[in-house]
Amino acid sequence: MKLIFLGPPGAGKGTLAARAVEILSIPHISTGVIFRSAIAAQSPLGIKVKAIIDAGKLVDDETTIALVKERLAQDDVKTGYILDGFPRTIPQAEALAAFSEVDTVVNFDIPDSIVLERLGGRRVCRECGRNFHVVFNNPKKEGLCDYCGGEVYTRDDDRPEAIQKRLEVYRAQTAPLIDFYRNKGILVDVDARPPVEEVVENFKKALGRG
Ligand code: AMP
């Protein structure tokens, strides 16, 4: 099953993807995780994208499309994947259609007020990229990831100025993808407001597995 997870930053796409990987046994590909790993490794890609990402802006389409095209050419994604954070623009969606056929686009629907609350308290594992939250999902050991023991930190782009910018960018450049995929008849909506377990159930129902 080839899935896209669509929705604003803070909708819970990454958290849900980690659960969906267990349910569906397919790899999770997050362009945000790939970029953050490149930044941590100070690779040429990381050096190129750091300032853009910290400011809450989008990396250019050409760079992002090339990265995903290369990843989707690998053997482990032949039968399925979850694309989280890609596509984020219409040109990215058009490029994707030329190299992979997506089955379903899951649109995580959530108002800005909840997004702001979630992103302000979000913490991320530096090693495995899992998400936590200071109120809703605190790691069992302060500052350490429950899954791999890595350091849990606040992303630079989860600062208030960058959050505002990311929401603006989402509304202007990514939200048009909702109609793009709805018109193709492959979009399903999932209410992302409830606690994680309920969203997991909503997600399974949307895929006809509830
Ligand atoms: P995310 O972890 O999905 O919130 O992504 C973090 C940041 O990485 C975004 O705010 C963008 O700066 C960049 N990014 C991730 N995916 C894309 C994409 N598909 N197109 C452009 N920039 C992206």
* pLDDT one-digit tens code per residue, 120-148: 899 999 999 899 999 888 999 999 999 99
Report if residue 54 sits inside a domain.
no
Report if residue 40 sits inside a domain.
no
- Closest C-alpha to ligand 1, atom 6: 32
Report if residue 170 sits inside a domain.
yes
Report if residue 43 sits inside a domain.
no
CA of 59 to the centre of ligand 1 (A): 7
Predicted local distance difference test score (pLDDT) of residue 203:
95
Q: Which DSSP string corresponds to 26-67?
A: --EEEHHHHHHHHHHTT-HHHHHHHHHHHTTPPPPHHHHHHH
Predicted local distance difference test score (pLDDT) of residue 160:
86
Residues with CB under 6 A from ligand 1: 9, 31-32, 35, 52-53, 56-59, 64, 85-88, 92, 157, 166
Query: What percentage of the chain has pLDDT greater than the value 70?
Result: 100
Domains in the chain: how many in total? 1
Report if residue 52 sits inside a domain.
no
Task: Residue 147: give its domain's CATH number.
Answer: 3.40.50.300
CA of 35 to the centre of ligand 1 (A): 8
Q: Which atom of ligand 1 sits closest to the CA of residue 52?
A: 12
Report if residue 72 sits inside a domain.
no
Predicted local distance difference test score (pLDDT) of residue 32:
95
- Low-confidence spans in the chain with pLDDT less than 50: none
Q: Which atom of ligand 1 sits closest to the CA of residue 49?
A: 12
Q: For residue 88, give Cα distances in angstroms to 17, 36, 39.
A: 17, 17, 20
Report if residue 60 sits inside a domain.
no
Tell me which residue range forms the domain holding 133.
Answer: 2-26+79-206
- Provide the annotated active-site residues: 13, 88, 122, 155, 166
Report if residue 58 sits inside a domain.
no
- Closest C-alpha to ligand 1, atom 1: 32
